Amino acid sequence: MLPKKSPLLTVLVPLFVLLFVTTACAVMLLLNNEAADHDARGMLAINSTRYLQKPAEFLRRFLGMEANITKEILHAGIPGLSSRLTEEDRPPSKLATLSTVWFELSSGVDSNTPVTFLAAQLPMFGEMLPAIASQIDSTKKNAGSTSIAVTAPSSIIAVTAFSEQSQPQQQQPQTLPAAAVEDTKPALRMDEPLILVLHTHTSECYLPTSGETHLFNGKGDIVKVGNRLVDILNSKYQIPTIHCDQIHDQYPWHEAYQRSQVTLQEYLAKYPSIKIVIDVHRDGTPGLEHSTVIEGERTARVMLVIGTNRMGLEHPNWEKNLAFAEKVKAETDRLYPGLSLGIIKADARYNQHLSNQAMIAEMGGENCTLEEALHAADYFANVISNIVKQESSP
C-alpha cells in the first residue's frame, strides 16, 4: 500500500519550485543588465545605482519592501515630469525591490529603458525596436560618438573649514553660475580659493577602522580624508582650497544631494573663483580591488564618478566634466600607475551641473582602512596640483 502524500508537502513543493525559478530569473536579470565592462579608453562602466551582487546583498534586494516602480513608470510615461525631478539618493541597504524585479521579468519592461513601456503596450512598436536601435547606432557611428552605455569625496591665504549647520531649502537652479559657463580660461589666481572639497555622504566610514560603514547624522572617516586632501593642497602645493564638512546625509538620507546642492550653490556664489569641485566619497561596490601598493605603502584606489543628463535633469555641459576627469585619470596613471580605479559615467548628475570641473572622487572601499585612504588623498593631491599648474601656465 502506497503512503499518502502529505497535504503540506503538496503545497510546499510548488512554492519551493516557484521561489527557485523566480530567484534564478532574477539572478540572470542582474548578471545580464549590471555586469561591469571596460571600453577602449579603459573607462569603467557600472550601473549608476550600483546594485550589489554578493549573495547577502542580492537577498536584501530580493526581499526589499519599498517599491519605486510606480514612480519610474510615471517618469518614463510623462516626459514633462522629468523637469520637476530632484536628485535623490538611496541608503546603501535600500536597493531595488522584489516588486520591481518581478514586474520587469513578467512584463518584459526595463524600467531603465522607457521605450520598452511602449513596446509592451504596442506589439507592432516592439517589432520595430531592432530597426530603430540599428538606425540609432548607425547615426552615432557616423557622428563619431564615443559614449558608453551604462545599464549602481596653511595656504597662501588663510582658509578655514566651514561647518555651518544651516537647513537648506530644496530648490533646482535654473542657470549655471557665471564662473561655471565661461568658455575662455583666464589665468588662475593663486590668492583666492580655487578648489572646493565637500562631502554629500558625510557619514561614510571605513569598516576596519571604525567598525561600521556609516556614522549616520554625523561626520565619518571620509571627512578626515577630505581634511587631509585639503591640508596637502594648501600647505604642500600652495593651491588655495576650501573644505566644507557640513553634514548632508542626515535623516531623511535620500535628500543628501538636494542638501549638498544648496551648499554648493552658496559656496560658488560666495567664492566665484572656485574652478574645481571635488565631492569626496568612499565607495561601497563589492567585487572591486579597492587598494593597491604605491611607493611601498598599502593605498586605497581612487575612482572618479561623472554624472550625465540620462536621469532627465538638465545637465548640458556634462561632457566638460568628463573631459576634466579623463585629464585627472591620465595624470594619475602617469604619476601613480594602479592608483586609479577608472571613471564611472552615471545616470544622475550629482550636482555637477554647477561647475564644468566637478567630479566625485571615491577614496577606496568600505573594507579599506582610514590610513590607506589618507595615503590616497596624499597622492591625489599631487595629481590635482599638477592639473591646476598646467591650467594656470600660459
CATH code of 317's domain: 3.40.630.40
Total of domains in the chain: 2
Residue that is last in its domain, among 62, 77, 112: 112
Range of the domain at 230: 178-392
* pLDDT for 319 beyond 90: yes
Instruction: Please indicate, yes or no, if residue 1 is contained in any of the structural domains.
Output: no
10 Å CB burial of residue 242 (0-12, 13-18, 19+) is buried
Mean pLDDT, residues 123-139: 55
pLDDT value of residue 78: 55
pLDDT value of residue 176: 40
- CA gap 307, 293 in Å, rounded: 29
Residue that is last in its domain, among 112, 138, 162: 112
- CA gap 376, 363 in Å, rounded: 7
pLDDT value of residue 106: 54
Do 213 and 357 belong together in one domain? Answer: yes
C-alpha cell at 190: 593663486
Sheet holding 241-243, edge to edge: 241-243, 195-198, 276-283, 358-365, 302-307, 340-346
Query: Dihedrals φ, ψ of 14, to 5°?
Result: -60, -40
Average pLDDT, the chain: 73
pLDDT value of residue 173: 38
pLDDT value of residue 392: 76
* pLDDT for 111 beyond 70: no
Instruction: Please indicate, yes or no, if residue 148 is contained in any of the structural domains.
Output: no
Residue that is last in its domain, among 65, 82, 112: 112
Q: What is the DSSP letter of 114?
A: T
Instruction: Please indicate, yes or no, if residue 156 is contained in any of the structural domains.
Output: no
- CA gap 124, 372 in Å, rounded: 56
Q: Which stretch of 36-45, 161-170, 205-214 has the lowest confidence by average pLDDT?
A: 161-170
